[in-house]
Structure 1
Amino acid sequence: MAKPPSKPGAGPRGTHVNVKTARSRSNASQRWLLRQLNDPYVKKAQAAGYRSRAAFKLIELDERFKLLKPGQRVVDLGAAPGGWSQVALRALGERGQVVALDLLPMDTLAGAKILQGDFQDDATEAAVLEALGGQADLVLSDMAPNTTGHGPTDHLRIMDLASLALDFAVKVLAPGGGFVAKVFQGGSEKAMLERLRRHFTEVRHAKPPASRKESSELYVVATGFRA
């Protein structure tokens, strides 16, 4: 018996998911849902037990820059839902310490010390150092503000957030430590680059493969902290 002709645009089973749209769902939310359903990194994250696809960004940055080492003390700023903290925990081993900090509540993560608060507060800074049991070897920040769609405005906003994260890192890092923060394409502003180079021996930019091609995000990776 002959098979009925396939519908136009149909592909092999399991390779692509189509979304039936509801009138109440916006075009933007439809695009986001479709992208999530068909994103290979989302599927890889689910298979590996990571809480977000962003975990692979840190994995790829670590493969390139050798950031995570057994026994380190790591602070994950803006940690929720916890993908980066999971990657750090797996790399650091039992002797490592991971403090996950976010303004929002975050589900318990075995091995991590989870704090809720604003990293700009002195009390939060003190709580992070107490939870670490000393100064940090690495400060991670995958934080990003809500975007407006206006490139120059969004760039300034994320640079301001990255600069605040750097302020925090300078206070808590041990000599030789590292700092990773998300920025947007256009590069780090001159003032921040000058600060980074003053505090670290090496400063580089990278766009990991897990970062979506259409995204303007980059990561600044600074190593060799000068206390």
Structure 2
Amino acid sequence: MAKGTSGRGQRDLRVKVKTARGRKLSSTLWLERQLNDPYVKRAQAEGYRGRAAFKISELDDKYRFLVPGARVVDLGCAPGGWCQVAVKRVNALGQRPGKAVGRVIGLDLQPVEPIAGAEIFQLDFMEDGADAQVKAWLGGKADVVMSDMAAAASGHKQTDHLRIIALCEAAAELAFDVLEEGGTFVAKVLAGGAEGTLQKRLKQRFAKVANVKPAASRADSSEKFVVATGFKPVEDAE
């Protein structure tokens, strides 16, 4: 372990990982970062499936869209941290007496381990009829559509940026179809210059559009989150 200082009279102990035979340096650096990440440790301590849970928590603390009784759709929900946060905040398990009981639906291409209070479905949200299927499962429209999806990294920054913007645009199109008036859309994007069209489209369909980088996002990451509130049906937008 390497020792450093973090304040007068205090020592900050940082875990150092040696590169094992057969393991790439990039993998060693990733493991070292995970072992020293306070959000990873906190997620483990609080029972969340990943550090991303704190990103949606921070966004909701600021914009208050995961309210008791809200109907939430989480796109690309694996491993499930965002669903876990949503279940608690919308009172999906009915554990907050006197508060409305919400619904949380998670969609992913791959199977996801069950989450108490959430309904998880294996579905490609971009396939034909996905919007109708989501509304059928909900028994109506959603109050929140959220997405922490990221396309598989190619190693080329601009390519990855374009891929995640395409995912976000597809998620927004689904949101336009399934959101209730006044609803909220939250999605991850990567800063890189190609998100102008997306921003323009969102500003046409929502009362307010904000771009936020939560404290839980790593400082060296180009990710940010768009939070669009006050969804306007087509007739209102026009």
The gaps in structure 2 that reach 5 residues or longer are 5-9, 95-100, 234-238
1:181 is aligned with what amino acid? Answer: A
Per-residue deviation, residues 181-218 of structure 1 (Å, max 9, x unmatched) = 11111356222112101110100100000000000000
CA RMSD of aligned residues (A): 1.7
Q: CA deviation at 1:13?
A: 9.1
Give the alignment partner of residue 192 of structure 1, picking from 191, 198, 217. Answer: 198
1:165 is aligned with what amino acid? Answer: A
Q: Counterparts in 2 of 1:10-89, with a 5 A limit?
A: 10=3, 15-89=13-87
2:142 is aligned with what amino acid? Answer: A
Give the alignment partner of residue 216 of structure 2, picking from 197, 210, 213. Answer: 210
Partner of 1:121: 127
The gaps in structure 1 that reach 5 residues or longer are 1-6
**Distance in 1 of aligned mates of 2:3 and 2:90:** 45
Partner of 1:172: 178
Q: CA deviation at 1:223?
A: 0.4
Per-residue deviation, residues 134-155 of structure 1 (Å, max 9, x unmatched) = 1000000000112223222221
Partner of 2:108: 102
Contact 2:3–2:13 at 8 Å: present in 1 too? Answer: no
Q: CA deviation at 1:21?
A: 2.5
* TM-score (normalizing by structure 2): 0.88
Moved over 6 A (4+): none
**Distance in 2 of aligned mates of 1:193 and 1:123:** 25
Partner of 2:142: 136
Partner of 1:150: 156
Counterparts in 2 of 1:20 and 1:56: CA distance versus 1, 3 Å:
same
Give the alignment partner of residue 88 of structure 2, picking from 87, 90, 112. Answer: 90
* TM-score (normalizing by structure 1): 0.92
Percent of aligned positions that are identical: 54
Per-residue deviation, residues 159-191 of structure 1 (Å, max 9, x unmatched) = 111000001100100000000011111356222
